Structure 1
Amino acid sequence: MVGACGTRKKASTTTNKRMNQEDLAESRQMSFNRWLDLPSGIFEQIFFKLDLIEMLFFIPLVCKSWGYIILKAIFDKEDTNCLDLSALEDEHFYSYFFYVGDQDSKAMKLMSLLVRLMHAFASDGPNDVNNCAIRTTPITKLLFPPGLFLNDRHLIYLAERCPKLKFLYLPCAQHITGKGMSRAMRCWRGIETMCYAPLVNIPPHLHLPRIVEEIGKNCKNLGYINLGWLDLNWQTAEVLVQNLKSIRKLSLERGCISKYGLQIFLSRCKKNISIMFISCSFRYSQGINYPSTIRVMGIPEGRRIRWWTDLYPHRSEELHTSKGLVSLFWERQE
């Protein structure tokens, strides 16, 4: 009897403890929601009278809901689960994040901001009531400004907390390595659209095969990719064809295109794909004036792919073999 009573008492205590924890979590969520139910304009009027750098870093530490209100007003103005860090190009933030300090200092400043953003946008309540190590956000779009010092640690931190990402605009990837991209892409398997740049100078080129391989291996839903400052030679052409098999649209922006590299890419490509050359230079093509934007489209013809281009408007009705299209690009010189 005593043992049975003790067991019931212990079970009752455990149940009450669980109920108290659930009540506490619900109370916290209600408190969080009450702040969010208030007109955000009132808070913005108050907070934006403060020093903007101090507001950016200290308000989110005071209260999660306050941090959400103020950071959302700056980085998600359209209320679309889009985290737009191009707001850092604003004159109030630019010198702090882009000019002041060395690389380590810039990296620490950016990480401090990202921690506050992820905390404010986290899907749970104001506190980590479930004691989870990583709390995810509903963010589906990430946009970065060019020139921002972004490294592997930043990218992986965001990737782990934004698993629903569909759109990535990353024009500041010069410090991202193949290893960092590999870990990020494992979290972003559902990504559909990506802009990645610059692929220029020696370090990014050493990582290019690994980066493209990880994108192709993990991102099976990727339909469009924009690659900036890419040197399209025979090696990079092979890497793109072998790994980016899901894409239907490819943009090469401000890249350097070699004749052999383009021929390799077109001849190995066995699907209908739309390619855009934006402000690219074509190697050994001195004296040829190219339009700022050139479109190329692969069109199935039986088991083969024929190629259409708007390079010469008076020949826009023609379809070409891969070799014929490449010759068309360089024909004025020849």
Structure 2
Amino acid sequence: MGENKSVGKRWEDMETDVLVKIFKQLNMIELGPVSQVCRSWCLACSDPLIWNALDFGLLKSNFIQTRASPYIWVDDWSDRRLTQLLRVAMGISRGNVACMIFHFNLYMKDEHLTYISERSPHLKRLVMPAWNRITKNGICQAIRRWSELESMTMPTIAHPPYIMEEIGKNCKNFSELKIMGSFDAQFATAIAAHLPNLKVLSLRCSRVAKEAILYLLNCLEHLEVLNIAHCMLFDGPMLHPGRRQSLRELDHTVHEKAARLREFYHCQSLSCIACQRMIADEGLMRWYRYEECFWRQDEISSLDLGDYGKLFDAKCETNARERPPLRRDREIRL
């Protein structure tokens, strides 16, 4: 046996590139114990190729809506589960996360956001959950740590200027923004003042004031791509329902202003599933009512999140038809 014993490589001596290719097939839950096998496996599990995107898209809070601020109650189990998963992910990734995705209905707190921002300094793309339990101080401190941030998807917020100001001051390469909820003149003014170099903007499935769209098209000289598909457009003050009018067709003035854009997406059709949902929800989409991946979709390819990532093994089912090739000005039909 001593002389004829065959000599082969041990698992821990495998090339790092090979290990990385293998470990990319695992989800985050499986990577935890794998990273503890040996030093070489631990290093391979932390490779940036594995952690380019950290997708928590299936993770939602157990919540109840309330009438008092923050208008949401979340059970302790949801908070503990999120804390545990963040510790595992941040520990293994070692600061290599470039894109982080959260579900719209995951209600994290300041302590969660602080933990993430301190351990993901090279974040470039962020998909935020709802703001209810996050304070002004919490989000501002996080943005200051993300100097490399280039793209953000965010729910609507009551007072947006301070967030736009923080992004403008600290994230010099920021160029993409997606807003889900409500978009008025105040929001448009904040973007024009603090993000003058914005190139891509999506307001898909939001309640939008026509004056806000026209203002941005006039002010944002570098804007190249705009998506207002399935939006409820209003003419008049959004804060005064009695004085505003819902627009059934896209105003010709918007078409004229958007003619200079490289890509312009719009859809207001009673035969469109997404538009029907917007009408049923009175312009404020109740994302929890629909299939899991509906909130992840976008006609702008760089903002579309596609199928779920690898936190859990799951497939995203959708009723949307396959998209046709890109055109500069496209009316969307689902």
Same fold (TM over 0.5): yes
Which residue of structure 1 aligns with residue 53 of structure 2?
A: 82
Aligned match of 1:139 in 97, 100, 106?
A: 97
In the alignment, is the contact (CA less than 8 A) between 2:20 and 2:50 conserved in 1?
Answer: no
Aligned match of 2:158 in 195, 202, 205?
A: 205
Deviation at 1:172, TM superposition (A): 3.7
Distance 1:250 1:44 in 2: 31
Which residue of structure 2 aligns with residue 258 of structure 1?
A: 209
Deviation at 1:213, TM superposition (A): 1.4
Provide TM-score, normalisation by structure 2: 0.56
Aligned match of 2:145 in 169, 172, 187?
A: 187
Distance 2:195 2:50 in 1: 32
Tell me the amino acid that sits aligned with residue 78 of structure 2: K
- For structure 2, the 5+ residue unaligned runs are 1-10, 64-72, 235-243, 268-334
Q: Cα RMSD over matched residues?
A: 4.5
In the alignment, is the contact (CA less than 8 A) between 1:40 and 1:69 conserved in 2?
Answer: no
- Give runs of aligned pairs for residues 1-334 of structure 1, distance below 5 A: 59=33, 79=50, 81-86=52-57, 89=58, 98-99=61-62, 102-122=74-94, 137-196=95-154, 198-199=155-156, 204-206=157-159, 208-232=160-184, 234-283=185-234, 284-286=244-246, 288-289=248-249, 297=258, 299=260
Q: Which has the larger radius of gyration?
A: 1
Bigger mean CA offset, 183-192 vs 273-282: 273-282
Deviation at 1:309, TM superposition (A): 6.2
1:239 and 1:84, CA in 2 relative to 1: closer, same or farther beyond 3 A? same
Distance 1:183 1:244 in 2: 19
- Normalized per residue, the structure richer in helix is 1
Deviation at 1:149, TM superposition (A): 2.2
CA offset digits 1:60-109 (Å, max 9, x no partner): 8966869969988xxx9x735221222xx2xxxx6xx5339944432222
Distance 1:276 1:171 in 2: 20
Deviation at 1:308, TM superposition (A): 9.5
- Residue 282 of structure 1 aligns to a residue whose secondary structure is strand
1:251 and 1:64, CA in 2 relative to 1: closer, same or farther beyond 3 A? farther
In the alignment, is the contact (CA less than 8 A) between 2:152 and 2:176 conserved in 1?
Answer: yes
Distance 1:212 1:83 in 2: 24
Provide TM-score, normalisation by structure 1: 0.56
Distance 1:40 1:269 in 2: 42
Tell me the amino acid that sits aligned with residue 146 of structure 1: F
CA offset digits 1:216-249 (Å, max 9, x no partner): 22111011111111232x2222111111122111
1:248 and 1:105, CA in 2 relative to 1: closer, same or farther beyond 3 A? same
- For structure 1, the 5+ residue unaligned runs are 1-31, 123-136, 300-305, 313-334
Report the number of matched residues.
236
In the alignment, is the contact (CA less than 8 A) between 1:149 and 1:172 conserved in 2?
Answer: yes
Tell me the amino acid that sits aligned with residue 236 of structure 1: F
In the alignment, is the contact (CA less than 8 A) between 1:138 and 1:164 conserved in 2?
Answer: yes
Distance 2:226 2:147 in 1: 23
1:104 and 1:290, CA in 2 relative to 1: closer, same or farther beyond 3 A? farther
Deviation at 1:280, TM superposition (A): 1.0
Distance 2:190 2:218 in 1: 14
Distance 2:196 2:146 in 1: 17
- Residue 98 of structure 1 aligns to a residue whose secondary structure is coil
CA offset digits 1:251-285 (Å, max 9, x no partner): 11222222333343334334454322132111244
- Residue 147 of structure 1 aligns to a residue whose secondary structure is coil
1:266 and 1:286, CA in 2 relative to 1: closer, same or farther beyond 3 A? same
Deviation at 1:41, TM superposition (A): 10
Distance 1:221 1:40 in 2: 29
In the alignment, is the contact (CA less than 8 A) between 1:228 and 1:255 conserved in 2?
Answer: yes
